[in-house]
C-alpha cells in the first residue's frame, strides 16, 4: 500500500478528522466570538468574565490544564487570586485576553493545553482565576 492509498483509506480519514475536529471548531467559532463581542476595552471586560459559570466540569478541565502554570506562576503566568495582576490583564479587554488564550501568549501554548475547552469554559476559568465571578 503506497502513501496515497493509505491517505484515502476511510479509517485513516476518520482518525484524522477526530484529531482535527476541535481545531476546526475553534477556527469556525473564533470569528463569531471576536466579531460579535460587545465588551469594551475597560473594566467592563472584568464584568464580561464575571457572568461565567464555574461548575465541576470546568474545574476539572482547569485542574488538568490551567493549574499546571497558574497555581505557582510558572513562566510568569498570573497566579490564581492575584487580583492586581489579573485586573491589569483584564484591562486590555476581553478580545485581547481571549485571543491570548486561543492563540497562546509568551510561554502559554494555544488553548493553554486544554483541547477539550469551549470558549465559555475559558471565560469561566479566567473568571475563577481573576476572582471576578464571586
* pLDDT digits 0-9 by tens, 45-101: 556 677 778 899 999 999 999 999 999 999 999 999 999 999 999 999 999 999 999
pLDDT of residue 4: 54
- How many CA atoms, within 13 angstroms, populate the side-chain half-sphere of residue 68? 10
pLDDT of residue 133: 74
Q: Is the dihedral of CA 125, 127, 128, 134 positive or negative?
A: negative
Q: Of all helices (H) and strands (E), which one includes residue 134? A: none
What distance in Å separates the CA atoms of residue 21 and residue 44, rounded to the nearest whole number? Answer: 33
Write out the DSSP string of 62-117. Answer: HHHTTHHHHTTTGGGPPPTT-HHHHHHHHTT-HHHHHHHHHH-BTTBPGGGG-TT-
What distance in Å separates the CA atoms of residue 66 and residue 61, rounded to the nearest whole number? Answer: 8
Amino acid at each position: 500500500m503506497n502513501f496515497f492509498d493509505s491517505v484515502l483509506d476511510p479509517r485513516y480519514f476518520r482518525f484524522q478528522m477526530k484529531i482535527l475536529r476541535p481545531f476546526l471548531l475553534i477556527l469556525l467559532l473564533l470569528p463569531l466570538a471576536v466579531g460579535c463581542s460587545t465588551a469594551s476595552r475597560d473594566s467592563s471586560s472584568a464584568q464580561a468574565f464575571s457572568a461565567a459559570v464555574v461548575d465541576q466540569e470546568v474545574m476539572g478541565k482547569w485542574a488538568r490544564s490551567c493549574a499546571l502554570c497558574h497555581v505557582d506562576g510558572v513562566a510568569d503566568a498570573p497566579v490564581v487570586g492575584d487580583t492586581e495582576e489579573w485586573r491589569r490583564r483584564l484591562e486590555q479587554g476581553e478580545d485581547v485576553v481571549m485571543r491570548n488564550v486561543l492563540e497562546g501568549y509568551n510561554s502559554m501554548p494555544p488553548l493553554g493545553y486544554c483541547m477539550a475547552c469551549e470558549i465559555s469554559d475559558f471565560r469561566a476559568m479566567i473568571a475563577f482565576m481573576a476572582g471576578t465571578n464571586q
